Amino acid sequence: MGKSSDFYYNSNTENWDFETANLKGSFQPEGEKNGLKSLIHKSTGVDVVHSKYNWSLNLFMLFSNNLCMGQARLIDRTFQVERDKISISYSPVDNSSSQDSNLFTVNHKVALNVIYQFKEPNIVDIEITADFKWPYPGYEVFLSNYFNPAMSPFVYVSGSPFDEPPDQPKWISPDSNDVFLGTGLVFSRDQHAAKKSIDGRWDRIWGLYQWNPQRYYALPMIAQVDIKHNLAAIIMSHPTDCFSVTSGYSSLNPKDPFSDQNPMYMSFFGDDMLPGDVKTVKARMVVDTINTSLDDLSTGAYKDFLDEYYPGHGGIDRYIRSTTLGKK
């Protein structure tokens, strides 16, 4: 892996800018809309981040079984910049006396530390460490990303015996369909992971979205593709770290939030956690041109991700779920 890019403070925007061989962008560590403010692929000039909803790799919702603990966006935090890294610390919040369980009340007894790192030539890494002060079954950190509306969502799904060819993982691009119109499409690791999206954790706070479990993912990878420029932004994680990915669909209705916002989400952790437990999860965004196919680009990038963080991983095929009717 090449050397990382150093951050430098932009006094005009009050953000932290960076530049690698292939990318340049801006990052905001503070405020509700913290995260990637822009991420431009230099040779095409395409900014993969949404110009209106311009915050990606953003810690959004915090959940446990049948429980919303509020938004990470509302938690007080501190940050530190060290050359190529920005570290953000979220303090535990104890609002146990509050009777509210909604989008704007935070009661989250977990200390979070999040590290963002930009690497040559086209990589953004994120590492989330959670230090638990309270028992939380089915704990979840819900990561939000909002992409350039000119791009289209893709999800890497497990094979099916009814595909051609059968039982082979594939990238699919969901289109608007009466069956799931207005719902978030959840692609999970397995049946146990799929249940978390419909266990009631969302019901008490938001009637706007219904979460709709779909096929299993082959790997926890999502992508947005700019067909005109043959450019892809891919986000990936390890199956033990990310239990579900959520996509919208291509829609021509500007009032549909999945058209307006073009969002994609990742759900991290998913375990039953006890006080004193400390766990770290990792994810990576890669932005690159598609020279042969999205499959070749993504599997190569995923192998690099495994090689760097999970040495001795045994090969990418070990992690791919080959059929929706079988086991890994």
List pLDDT tens digits, range 243-293.
Answer: 999 999 998 888 888 889 999 999 999 999 999 999 999 999 999 999 999
Task: Kindly list the structural domains of the chain, giving each domain's residue range(s) and its CATH number in brackets, ordered by start.
Answer: 8-318 (2.70.98.30)
What pLDDT does residue 297 have? 96
Tokens matching residue 230: 């043959």
What pLDDT does residue 102 have? 55
How many angstroms separate the Cα of 313 from the Cα of each of 154, 286, 291?
25, 20, 27
d(CA 153, CA 187): 13
Residue 116 dihedral angles phi and psi, to the nearest 5° = -105, 135
Give tens-digit pLDDT for 88-126.
Answer: 999 999 987 665 555 678 899 999 999 999 999 999 999
Q: Please give the DSSP secondary-structure letter assigned to residue 240.
A: T
d(CA 146, CA 269): 21
What pLDDT does residue 319 have? 81
Displacement of CA 311 from its chain's centroid (Å): 23
SS3 of the chain: helix, strand, coil, percent, to 5:
10, 45, 45
d(CA 77, CA 55): 17
d(CA 72, CA 219): 26
- The pTM assigned to this predicted structure is 0.93
What pLDDT does residue 125 have? 98
At a CB cut-off of 8 Å and minimum separation 6, what does 199 contact? 65, 66, 138
d(CA 22, CA 123): 9
Spans in the chain with pLDDT lower than 70: 1-5, 97-103, 205-208, 321-328
* Pair 125, 109: CB distance under 8 Å: no
At a CB cut-off of 8 Å and minimum separation 6, what does 197 contact? 186, 188, 211, 213, 244, 246, 267
